[in-house]
A and B are shown apart, each in its own frame.
Chain A
């Protein structure tokens, strides 16, 4: 029976970051990952000779070299990573695109400010006041009372179209709640997207993961892949270790779980409350183009869109809601060299239960040919449909929704469909499979445990369900929980001895 100072469940951003902190200070620490690759929600895979990222469109929270007091700078210091090592390249510009109005934004906040003043002159002062309220709010106060964001935002903005255009990117990049966000989450996302902005390494998420893995191993941490946790062991009100899927038992002083709130409760043999499971899952399509997106006429790095004036961030009744989404052109970051693959990625909100109910028959097409590019004639947009589609075999459903997704997206970007040479797509089922999140809930439970405390001593939640979101947020979650529940306890124990 192996004995550790700390066991970390999940080798995503938060688990790896927590692991680095603990290993750096000579804790005996193991990170357990059920999957055969690390990364969690942010991972990567090879498909027909192409390298695709999962999860990461962009790193939010951009901070220039030497910038002070920002989340990214805090993360670099805590993990002892040099700014240059991240290899960050900024976005060109992005946009929020709704019927009849488009707001551009970039890593210079002034662009968004001037765009709002241009498109919504009556709202310009209110937007400035909202901006000040966001700037002045301390989102790091973990004990602050919960409040809804919409009523706060409506104090400053009284045009529902602008309100939804502000919410759209913030929700898509991090809200586990339908229709609204917690105000502190709104502030975190507003700062990370509009104040700080987007960037990415040339090599995408695998570059960041490689940095973390190297740092973790160098510090002496142990990573066990293909190692699922069956049960969290407790003695009275105290966590004592875990039992693995293979029956092996590991004991530890502290267990940090990035598996999610609901998933962690289940590992303790508890039945979680029904409303604790997140409702928001996504499909993502990846289209490989025969030329860079800019040559096809797409200038934006990322486009957040809705085809209806009221943006509906909620679990759809149908398999997918293609009437809103996020379109990412990874090649439109200011990269030092043109990426080998020219990609357009489209994310839409999807219904996990419907995808889960589709039969596994038809999981692969009989021909083995894979998804086909959408014919340009396939202009079946969401507007043309009323009522849910009949249940299709899984693979047929993917082809159907791939085509619908493209057809709705091209209201906002140039029609790239004639240039598509290869297609892949993942669904809520894929997310469930690779992340273990119930309901394929990308952003986890709508209930967040800001302090990480579960009520069981020695068991703490890190990552998405602690409530810091995005790649930088998740990593900072792992760091701050490792500091708070392990390292700081060591230093405060000094007084007692």
Chain B
């Protein structure tokens, strides 16, 4: 999966979790929490969706790596290698 696909995968998950948020203008360098209404319960959902859709496991201690789109890409690059984007 390319970096762009990883971004799309995360955006797709956020769009499902927060159907009222505008996911079209997320700044990849800025913390997601600062751009939209996401709390710790929502980050748990991102982690669970990653497992459900891509079979990727994210331990509690690694949640910090999901702070921004850019940090998600860096953290997930190896874990998502070879996976197909789920729309």
A contact set with B: CB distance below 8 Å: 25-26, 65-66, 68-69, 73-74, 76-78, 80-83, 479-480, 483, 487-488, 490-492, 494-495
Instruction: Among B20, B58, B59, point to the contact of A82 (Cβ < 8 A).
Output: B20
A491 touches B20 (CB 8 A): no
Q: Which residues of B contact A483 (CB under 8 A)?
A: 41, 44
A25 with B17, Cβ < 8 A, contacts A495-B59, A495-B60 known: no
In Å, the complex CA distance between A479 and B59 comes to: 21
Cβ–Cβ contact B59 & A69, under 8 A = no
Which one of B16, B37, B61 contacts A73 once the chains associate, using CB atoms below 8 Å?
A: B37
- Report whether B17 and A69 are in contact in the complex, using a CB–CB cutoff of 8 Å: no
Q: Smallest CB-CB separation from A67: which chain B residue?
A: B37
Instruction: Select A80's contact among B16, B51, B60, B61, beta carbons within 8 Å.
Output: B16
Which residues 13-36 of B have a CB within 8 angstroms of A? Answer: 16-20
B57 touches A25 (CB 8 A): no
Count how many pairs of residues, one from A and one from B, have CB atoms less than 8 Å apart in the complex: 52
Minimum CB distance partner of B38 in chain A: A77
When distances are taken between beta carbons in the complex, the residues of chain B under 8 Å from A74 are 39, 41
* In the bound complex, CA of A81 to CA of B52 (Å): 20
Which of B17, B37, B60 is in CB contact (< 8 Å) with A491?
B60
Contact A69 B37 (CB under 8 A): yes
Q: Do the beta carbons of B37 and A492 come within 8 Å of each other?
A: no
Task: Please tell me if the beta carbons of A77 and B17 are within 8 angstroms of each other in the complex.
Answer: yes
CB distance from A297 to the nearest CB of B (A): 39
- Contact partner, B59, options A80, A488, A494, Cβ 8 Å: A494
Query: Is B58 a contact partner of A76 (Cβ separation < 8 A)?
Result: no
Q: Given that A77-B42, A491-B60, A492-B60 are known contacts, is A66 also in contact with B20, CB under 8 Å in the complex?
A: yes
Known interface pairs A25-B48, A25-B52; A494-B58 also in contact (CB < 8 Å): yes
Q: How far is the CA of A488 from the CA of B59 in the complex (A)?
A: 11
Q: Could you tell me if B48 and A82 are in contact, using CB atoms closer than 8 angstroms?
A: no
Q: A80-B16, A488-B44 are in contact. Are A494 and B37 (CB under 8 A)?
A: no
The smallest beta-carbon distance between B6 and chain A, in angstroms, is: 19
From DSSP, what is the main secondary structure of chain B's interface residues? helix
Decide if B48 touches A487 in the complex (CB within 8 Å). Answer: yes
B47 adjacent to chain A (CB < 8 Å): yes
The answer for the CA separation of A69 and B18 in the assembled complex, in Å, is 12
Which residues of chain A are near B59, meaning CB under 8 Å? 491-492, 494-495
User: Within the complex, which residue of B20, B44, B47, B60 is in contact with A76, where a contact is CB–CB below 8 Å?
Assistant: B20
| Complex Cα spacing A65 to B21, Å | 10
A80-B47 contact, Cβ under 8 Å, with A25-B52, A494-B58? no
Q: Shortest distance in angstroms between B38's beta carbon and chain A's nearest beta carbon?
A: 8
Chain B 62-78, CB-CB to A under 8 Å as 1, else 0, gives 00000000000000000
Question: In whole Å, how far is B49's beta carbon from the nearest beta carbon of chain A?
Answer: 9
Pick from A65, A66, A491: contact of B58, CB under 8 Å: A491
Additional 10 contacts, C-beta under 8 A, given A77-B18, A77-B42: A26-B52, A76-B20, A81-B19, A491-B44, A491-B48, A491-B60, A492-B59, A492-B60, A495-B59, A495-B60
For the complex, give the distance between the alpha carbons of A25 and B16 in Å.
13
Could you say which residues of chain B place their CB within 8 Å of the CB of A487?
44, 48
Task: Give Cα A65–Cα B57 distance, bound, in whole angstroms.
Answer: 33
Which chain B positions have C-beta within 8 A of A68? 37
A contact residues around B45 at 8 Å (CB)? 77-78
A495 CA / B42 CA spacing, docked (Å): 20
Bound-state CA distance A495–B60 (Å) is 8
CB neighbours of A80 from chain B (8 A)? 16-17, 19
CA distance A483 to B41 in the complex (A): 8
| Complex CA–CA separation, A75 to B36 (angstroms) | 15
Give Cα A65 to B22, complex, Å: 12
State whether B39 touches A83 (Cβ < 8 A): no
A76 and chain B: residue at smallest CB distance: B20
A63 to B42 Cα, complex, angstroms:
18
Q: Is the beta-carbon distance between B20 and A65 smaller than 8 angstroms?
A: yes
The interface centre, meaning the residue of B45, B52, B57 with most chain A CB atoms within 10 A of its CB, is: B45
Q: Which residue of B lies closest to A488 (CB)?
A: B44
Given contacts A68-B37, A69-B37, A495-B61, contact A82 B19 (CB under 8 A): yes
What is the distance, in angstroms, from B72's C-beta to the closest C-beta of chain A?
Answer: 16
Q: Which residues of A contact B17 (CB under 8 A)?
A: 77, 80
Can you name 20 A-B pairs with beta carbons within 8 Å?
A25-B48, A26-B52, A66-B20, A74-B39, A76-B20, A77-B18, A77-B37, A77-B42, A77-B45, A78-B41, A479-B41, A483-B44, A487-B44, A487-B48, A491-B48, A491-B51, A491-B58, A491-B60, A494-B58, A495-B59
Q: How far is the CB of A64 from chain B (nearest CB, A)?
A: 11
Q: Which A residues lie within 8 Å of B37 (CB)?
A: 68-69, 73, 77
Chain B contacts of A26 at CB under 8 A?
A: 52
CA distance A199 to B81 in the complex (A): 48
Q: Are A491 and B41 in contact (CB under 8 A)?
A: no
Contacts known (A26-B52, A74-B41); A83 close to B60, Cβ less than 8 A:
no
Q: Residue on A with the closest CB to B60?
A: A492
Top 9 closest pairs, chain A to chain B, by CB: A68-B37, A495-B59, A494-B57, A82-B19, A494-B59, A83-B20, A77-B18, A492-B60, A25-B48
In the assembled complex, which residues on chain A have CB atoms less than 8 Å from the CB atom of B41?
A: 74, 77-78, 479-480, 483
